[in-house]
Amino acid sequence: MSFREELELREHQNFSEFAAFSDQSLGRDREEPPCDMRTIYQRDRDRILHSKSFRRLKGKTQVFLAPEGDHYRTRLTHTLEVAQTARSIAKALLLNEDLTEAIALGHDLGHTPFGHAGERALNEVCAGGFKHQMQSIRVVELLEKDGKGLNLTKEVRDGILNHSTAGNPHTLEGKIVRICDKIAYVNSDIDDAIRGKIISDEDLPINCIKILGKTLRERLNTLLHDIVVNSRGLNDIVMSDEIRDALVELRKFMFENVYVASEAKKEEGKAGYMLKALYEYYLKNPDKLPEFYRNMYERDGEELSRVICDYIAGMTDHYAVLTYKDLMIPRAWQIL
């Protein structure tokens, strides 16, 4: 018996009956020989962790564009916080931590530079629209590894695709990531907004604070404990009505006071304008796209609009700014 098979046996001995067992995965689109050391979901986690798109998350906005300070979240730190929170719940409920972690690490791979401002800009110009969860699937199925994709399992891709509010993952592990994404960004964004003096502790809805807690740590403990207590023994991931309603109200507060109309969002119009300008440039000059993307359009028959969005969505904030400057702003010159 290989070490992988021992791990698979251990899952059946220790996991809940509602867990997604590694040896019962629906598999990959392209069959591969199994690894002697790692389960199928562990391999997916490692592939995501070592991908280029995962590394680029460190240079992408979470909420605040180009903040002055080293302690604000990026898309990468958000992803890691989602993964840690989701793993804690999966472990407590005796579900598959490896599948949970793989979904969490991959859920935002398709996010644009400049956060949701970038997503809105590409959605306005891209034929067929643009949603980051759909782009994350496109990244892992097509764009990574020079067009080969990561060949992830169906369960991981299902969790990535359905992590947004409207999604409905088919596994409990996917459901955990879906709710932990909201828990992570609401609470972490409160922390960043207070650090940036956009809001203060006193601004937070008093009824939410009474129910969830005053500090980030207290709120996370309350939310995670509530999910574990109310989901134990169920084939679902649920929260109590009181806690869920408090989280929904807190999320609404953040949209009204931070995400939409705040000092920190004033620069988003410039970010959206810049990405739209890049899109229009490449639409008129597809020959200026990098070779990989030109081949997708010219050789593989991919729609030009989608290919341009693939390229722009993969940029970090810094790279998008540099590219815009290079293409749109005259360079200084010298008279010798």
Cα distance between residue 220 and residue 138, in whole Å: 32
293 pLDDT exceeds 80? yes
Question: Percentage of residues in the chain with pLDDT exceeding 70?
Answer: 96
Question: What digits encode the pLDDT tens for the residues 206-246?
Answer: 999 999 999 999 999 999 999 999 999 999 999 999 999 99
Q: Which of 147-161, 210-224, 246-260, 288-302 has the lowest mean pLDDT?
A: 246-260
Residue with tokens 């460190």: 58
| Average pLDDT estimate for 31-38 | 96
3-state secondary structure of 96: coil
334 pLDDT exceeds 80? no
Amino acid at 203: D
For residue 259, what pLDDT is reported? 81
Cα distance between residue 153 and residue 138, in whole Å: 14
Cα distance between residue 111 and residue 225, in whole Å: 30
For residue 261, what pLDDT is reported? 61
Question: What digits encode the pLDDT tens for the residues 54-81?
Answer: 999 999 988 766 656 677 889 999 999 9
For residue 68, what pLDDT is reported? 62
Helix 216-231 crosses helix 241-254 at what angle (to 10 degrees)? 140
Cβ atoms 316, 60 nearer than 8 A: yes
CB atoms within 10 A of CB 126: 20
φ and ψ of 287, to 5 deg: -70, -15
Name all domains of the chain by residue range, CATH numbers in brackets.
3-264 (1.10.3210.10), 268-328 (no CATH)
For residue 335, what pLDDT is reported? 61
| Cα 316–chain centre separation | 14
For residue 322, what pLDDT is reported? 96
Cα distance between residue 44 and residue 140, in whole Å: 10
Which position has the higher pLDDT, 88 or 259?
88
For residue 266, what pLDDT is reported? 73
